[in-house]
Amino acid sequence: MTTIANASSGVIGQPMLRREDPKLLSGEARFTDDLKIPGALWIGLVRSPFANAKIISIDTQDAKASPGIVAVYVASDLQSEWAGPIPSAWQVTPDMKSPAHYPLASGKANYVGDPVAVVVGNSPTEVADAVALVDVSYEELPAVVDLEEALTDANVIHEELGTNKCYVWELNPNPQGIEDAFKSAAHVVKERYIQQRLIPAAMEPRSVAVVPSPMGGDYTLYSATQIPHILKVMTALTVGISESKIRVIAPSVGGGFGSKLDVYPEELLCLALARKHKVPVRWTEERTEGAQATIQGRGQVQHIELAADKDGKLLGVRADIIADMGGYQQLITAGVPLLGAFLYHGAYHTPTYAFKCTGVYTNKTPTDAYRGAGRPEATYAIERAMDSLAKTVGVDPAEIRRRNFIPTESFPYNSPAGLVFDSGNYGPNLDQALTAVGYDTLRADQEKRRAEGSTKHLGIGLSFFVEMCGLAPSRVLASLNYAAGGWESATVRILPTSKVQVVTGTAPHGQGHETVWAMIVADKLGISVDDIEVLHSDTSIAPHGMDTYGSRSLSVGGSAVHIATERVLEKAQKIAAHLLEASEDDLEYQGGIFSVKGSPDKTMPLAAIAFEAFTAHNLPDGLEPNLEATTTWDPPNFTFPFGSHIAVVEVDEETGKVELLRYMAVDDCGPRVNPLIVEGQIHGGLAQGIGQALYEEAVYDSAGNLLNATFADYLLPSAAELPTFELGNTVTPSPTNPLGVKGIGEAGAIASPPAVMNAIVDALSHIGPIQIEMPASPERVWKAIQAVRA
Amino acid sequence: MYPASFNYLRASSVREAISMIGDNEDAKFIAGGHSLVPLMKLRLATPSTLVDIGRLTDLSYVREDGGQIAIGALTRHRDLEISPVLNAKAPIIAKVAGQVGDPSVRHKGTIGGSIAHGDGASDLPAAALALDAVFVAEGPSGRREIKSTDFHKGFLETALAPNEVLVEIRIPANIKSWSFQKFNRRAQDWAIVGVAAVKNGSTRVALINMGSTPLRAAGTESAIQSGASLKEAASQADLGLDPPGDLNATVEFRRHLAHVLVGRALEELG
């Protein structure tokens, strides 16, 4: 077979500006709330102000009489609308316990924000006024807020489950081995960390609009979602409408970070009420609703133990975590901690490994995937514990990592948790970061400040991460009891006029697939990116897809695009050979033109072949008309990006304020199709990870009230809080996909929290062993210093 | 969140604004809207009528006036920040205004709005206190002057009558020795604790977010008067005060920060 399909025309690797941006920046892009939908009714949710309360009665009379109100429904009014509960797609163990969960709570509300009634009216403002008029009588019950307390079952949230414990998931391939490792260890480190809850806070709030077809019978569901395909299946099953009657469109979507990887009550209500009222029904979230009733991220208590020999080489890693489900299961709530289950040994070889996770219900907003989903938690635990091990052994944090790195020659590496790490070359990556940041100079500066008695201490924090991306090999998902596959679909279609349509099953919401997928095709076909259009996020145009999350889109979806392009080119080559009366093997392809080797005048541009394929007047025998190929790519393995991140902080001992002076990230995500977009992803991820380390936390009081449900109180970092990021890269291709790519969407959020926290601990290490949790607020830092000094 | 419904009137003069508000005690003046609108959106404030004075551009000025500086109440924070008069004669106001909120807040918010709102966590009222400013208010019966020390009565409560408009802020010119210490977690936030200090004859130290109103650090001021060391004076910063506790700082930490920041301010005053 020919080698033509493997040629590159140099588009891949160029830092092209995003084609999406002019529309987004000029306001021309249309988000769901921007859509003009004449005659639409709006809904508003009456939400529980109590975390745990029996619903005694709901009086809707005043709301119904309010101007512009069409209807007010409580759970019992709508029970016949549902063919099933709000879906949970990840039953992680056969005996996992899940409460019934419908769009409106009946009988009992289980978190502040739990919807108990829905108001339907002519405008969002009239609906907002009427929501305030719905009179709900509650009997307040004690709230279950703390995870460890929840596990005592002193107060059981869901009586029908009989316990707050959702599941116990355990991975312990060598129980005796790990016991022995800890018994024989020269050094043992035991740490407990808290992963605070985070509010995803995508720039665009959630929004949904359902429009019944004027011909009747089917529905177009517009949603600010990152999963139009999964949403179509799930709404069909839940609302009881044939999947073929639902078209889901995600218009421009302003970020998600996992929070739009879900099926929400409001989407189901709009669909059911559009069916019931036979008119369009829509809803857009308010910010405080977003804080309370869109899923939150993280929420774990982590115990990690390291066993090491006298030189600090790991003998065993043991993690035991409690994961906060919140009040209910959402789409993949239970499975999120398990995406980290295999990574608590990080980038380090350990002969023995064990992991255990206990999921627990609390009276708080449900948790689910948030940028990194399970992997930031794992990385945080191992990277902070490695610093503790370095201290215990008495070596530099960089040295303890070097001693334990999975050796380059071990790849593909069979991990003790049962994964195969595809490729890695960790040592040179770390060396590059240390050199670039000037590690030795920084250490000297640190010593100098200490010698001078400065009250502003310099800290250098290291984090080396490895994560698993490219969700996912479908068979592996099956082994984890996940209810879907991990493949991705792509169609590449060359139209008669030689314009190219790329149809993808990924669902970009800020990632830049319209640019990058076009680059992949342009690179292969040798044509301009301007001649390529990328179609996505409409289930009628792209019927098959698994959508966008888990840094999967390029390695899985981009690979599918790559393969479909190859197939189209192979077909074009057959037609070219036929028309040029040459053997396929004698053809060359460059710049969009086939030519016959040795006969430079015998050429045929792709455009001409596209037209020939369309007219089908003169095609080789047995070849179908048209230049189009569809493929579905199921990756054989995950990809394992890695990198070294170094944070440099200054800690003001008098006020506890931490200033992030510098941040160096040397990421290895394999070859970079568009380095500009890669850097953008790293910047965004770093901002969120640094946000977790220093600023962000969804704070609940003992009654289960979210105390910071506005942007005045929930501290998202802005550009003013962040230094100019210093980025470097190494390139270790993945052998698992044809592009060799690994994924970069979550890396920044995964690597940065431990880098920053290690830097703070390092800054104060001469004062004493600082115990501090995230976010490292000035008061926490100040109190941690007082505690050590006391 | 959507605010509750309200009437909206736009005034084209102070006099018209006063007559529009009449004796309606549920009505509020609105200028830049950056304090009032967030409260309305959370439905913590539900005025029946807003009288918009935001377009009274004749109240936007900074000028020298007989050894004093007169600042029109409608002057936006950004205009204070870049005012040549302030930067030359009373740079503390320019400096403080330049750290309020973020750029969009600074281009909309006004000094009069900030002072009339009377939030103990706001920076400009404290700077005005440290400068011993005088506020000029206009009501149905004309103008009157209110000393800054008599202005703040309680939580979001001032000496202004509901039908009085704050029209001008008068501060001394030629402020040479001053310090502004703003401690927060993010640049755009209110101060967790802030200090505005001025040495102009006597030393006046005002504190931000150390009580329900903008206030002066009486303990520090009297310690300085009686000749205490800067360190001793700083340790009196929270004397007699009842600072709030919130997610950013407990009462205990606020008191500590007041000591540290007043100490730094006094050191800067020299």
The 3-class SS string of A449-505 reads HHHHCCCEEEEEEEEEEECCECCCCHHHHHHCCECCCCCEEEEEEECCCCCEEEEEC
- Contact yes or no for B186 and A717 at CB 8 A: yes
Residues in A lying within 8 Å of B, measured between beta carbons: 124-125, 128-129, 132, 286-288, 654-655, 657, 694-695, 699, 707-708, 710, 712-713, 715, 717-718, 720-721, 777-779, 782-783
* Domain boundaries defined on chain A: 4-28+487-633, 32-141+203-255+260-293, 297-471+637-789
How much is the pLDDT for A600?
85
How much is the pLDDT for A233?
97
Among all residues of chain B, which has the CA nearest to that of A710? B42
Tell me the average pLDDT across A367-378: 98
Q: Which CATH class is domain B7-52?
A: alpha beta
- Contact yes or no for A715 and B192 at CB 8 A: no
Residue A349's pLDDT band, with cuts at 50, 70 and 90, is: very high
Radius of gyration of chain A (CA): 28
- Cα distance between residue A783 and residue B192, in whole Å: 16
CA atoms within 13 A on the CB side of A728: 19
CA angle A326, A772, A258 (to 5 degrees): 35
Name the CA dihedral angle for B196, B198, B204, B206, rounded to a multiple of 10 degrees.
Answer: -10
How confident is the model over A113-167, as pLDDT tens digits? 999 999 999 999 999 999 999 999 999 999 999 999 999 999 999 999 999 999 9
**Nearest CA to CA, how far is B227 from chain A (Å)?**
25
Identical topology for domains A4-28+487-633 and A297-471+637-789 = yes
How much is the pLDDT for A1?
39
Of A7 and B58, the structure prediction assigns the larger pLDDT to B58
How confident is the model over A230-275, as pLDDT tens digits? 999 999 999 999 999 999 999 999 999 999 999 999 999 999 999 9
- Contact yes or no for B183 and A777 at CB 8 A: no
Flag whether pLDDT at A4 surpasses 90.
Answer: no
- The CATH T-level fold of domain A297-471+637-789 is Aldehyde Oxidoreductase; domain 4 (3.30.365)
Radius of gyration of chain B (CA): 18
Among all residues of chain B, which has the CA nearest to that of A712? B189
Is CATH 3.90.1150.10 what the domain over B179-269 is classified as, yes or no? no
Residues in B lying within 8 Å of A, measured between beta carbons: 1-2, 4-5, 38, 42-43, 102, 183, 185-189, 192, 247-250, 253, 256-257, 260-261
Q: Identify the DSSP state of B110.
A: B
- Strands, E assignment, A293-452: 297-308, 314-326, 352-361, 413-414, 420-421
What the block records as the tokens of B116 is 């009339």
Amino acid at site A342: F
Q: In chain B, count H helices and then E strands.
A: 11, 14
Q: What are all long-range contacts of B25-32, with beta carbons under 8 Å and residues at least 24 apart?
A: B25/B162, B27/B51, B27/B162, B29/B53, B29/B116, B29/B165, B30/B54, B30/B113, B31/B73, B31/B74, B31/B110, B31/B112, B31/B113, B32/B76, B32/B108, B32/B109, B32/B110, B32/B113
Among partner residues A125, A694, A712, which is closest to B2 by beta-carbon distance? A125
- Looking at every residue in chain A, the average pLDDT score rounds to 97
- Contact yes or no for A779 and B248 at CB 8 A: yes
Which run of H or of E encompasses B130? helix B123-130
- Contact yes or no for B247 and A707 at CB 8 A: yes
Flag whether pLDDT at A3 surpasses 80.
Answer: no
Residue B66's pLDDT band, with cuts at 50, 70 and 90, is: confident
How much is the pLDDT for A6?
57
Tell me the average pLDDT across B113-124: 96
Query: A463 — phi, psi (to 5°)?
Result: -145, 125
Residue limits of CATH 3.30.465.10 in chain B: 59-172
- Contact yes or no for A287 and B1 at CB 8 A: yes
Tell me the average pLDDT across B131-157: 97
What the block records as the tokens of A576 is 């070219």
What the block records as the tokens of A491 is 């169609």
**Nearest CA to CA, how far is B66 from chain A (Å)?**
39
Among partner residues B4, B186, B248, which is closest to A721 by beta-carbon distance? B186
Q: Which CATH class is domain A4-28+487-633?
A: alpha beta
**Nearest CA to CA, how far is B213 from chain A (Å)?**
19
Among partner residues B5, B187, B192, which is closest to A718 by beta-carbon distance? B187
**Nearest CA to CA, how far is B44 from chain A (Å)?**
13
How confident is the model over A39-59, as pLDDT tens digits? 999 999 999 999 999 999 999
Among partner residues A286, A287, A695, which is closest to B185 by beta-carbon distance? A695
Give residue B259's Cα distance to chain centre: 21
Residue limits of CATH 3.30.390.50 in chain B: 179-269
- Strands, E assignment, A597-752: 599-605, 627-633, 642-652, 658-668, 726-729
SS3 content of chain B, % helix, strand, coil (to 5): 35, 25, 40
- Cα distance between residue B173 and residue B159, in whole Å: 25
- Cα distance between residue A439 and residue A461, in whole Å: 10
Sort out which chain B residues have CB atoms less than 8 A from A718's CB and list them: 102, 186-188
Q: Which of A204, A211, A242, A195 is nearest to A226 (CA)?
A: A204
Among partner residues B2, B5, B253, which is closest to A782 by beta-carbon distance? B253
How much is the pLDDT for A494?
97
Sort out which chain A residues have CB atoms less than 8 A from B38's CB and list them: 712
The residues facing B203 across adjacent strands are B199
- The CATH T-level fold of domain B59-172 is 3.30.465
Which CATH number describes the domain made up of A32-141+203-255+260-293? Answer: 3.90.1170.50
Residue limits of CATH 3.30.43.10 in chain B: 7-52
* A-to-B residue pairs, Cβ atoms closer than 8 angstroms: 58
